[in-house]
Structure 1
């Protein structure tokens, strides 16, 4: 960042010394960032988000309010996330009737350049969203999404190529 570059962020957010912000980025309102979180240049983040590192967010990204992003996520450049998007990288092994939720497991999520995730989208562990893909509002993504397609539904299914 050069001496004339500006970043706008509420002072209350500066407690996380592992949070890095690129030039021209702006965080509007309160949000939580835990662990190493790298935010690229010209990123706009609205209030209420909870981010857990390691997390990398590219340049020219828009993240609407109340995003929930777990550790192990990589978001490309020019990505748009609608309100209430959930990127969940952790889960549990399934146990027997004595205890169903067993050991914690995790798998990274990747969101490719130029992708758009609509309002209320949930992406589950280990999924890769291809560059230029669009995920319709309310969808639950349980498998990889190819580049330049529209997916929708629960679970998300291919609707059409773009």
Structure 2
């Protein structure tokens, strides 16, 4: 498994990330084997590939040669596993669908996932373990913080700043130049015209603060 890719999380989103990795690997031949990492599922294979818990001998023996990407949709879970990978000294992969449009001036840090038909525009910056899901647009000069998840069909206007560990729900629209804090949840279909502070949930059109994001859980 030298130069293999381990997709950490073998749930529904894990299967989507595995599909992206398969397309990327078919085009680039970057990885010798694709595998899942999952600390809960007991089965030895999943979705046509081998599956291992993180503490297994098979993974620990390959930490120097393999790369990892997290496939969980919950930002707080992405942060937890991201710190675990960092402490283990694991190398991070960047998994990008072959249909995505990535500007040559954009910067994607390790662990990023970019799904089909996305656009990452000029001088955009994605932090560690950021996910941009299907058909989303990240405008020019947008900065997205670590562990943040941008769901499908989101449009983020130019020069926006999004903090760490936030979640932008399906179909949300973010006006250019808006600043969104850390640990924020933007409800699906929301239209955000003004800045959003840390640690809140906002919904609606125009988006308004609904309540504090005290438990940092998107999926309940």
TM range (shorter): 0.7 to 0.9
Maintained 8 Å contact 2:95/2:112: yes
Which runs of 4 or more aligned residues in structure 1 lie more than 2 Å from their structure 2 counterparts after TM superposition? Answer: 8-12
Change beyond 3 A, Cα 1:32–1:114: same
1:120 corresponding residue in structure 2: 171
> Equivalent of 1:44, from 101, 113, 127?
113
Give the CA deviation at 1:34. Answer: 2.4
Counterpart position of 1:141: 192
Q: Which has the higher helix share?
A: 2
SS of the residue corresponding to residue 53 of structure 1 reads: coil
Residue 146 of structure 2 is matched in structure 1 by 77
Q: 2:123 aligns with which of 41, 54, 57?
A: 54
* Aligned twin of 1:93: none
- Aligned residue pairs, count: 133
**Residue of 8, 12, 25 corresponding to 2:94:** 25
In 2, Cα distance between equivalents of 1:112 and 1:124? 16
CA distance in 2, matches of 1:128, 1:145: 6
**5+ unaligned residues in a row in structure 1: which ranges?**
13-21, 90-107
Q: 2:181 aligns to what?
A: 130
> Which structure: greater strand fraction?
1
Question: How large is the RMSD of aligned CA atoms in angstroms?
Answer: 2.2
How much does 1:5 deviate? 8.6
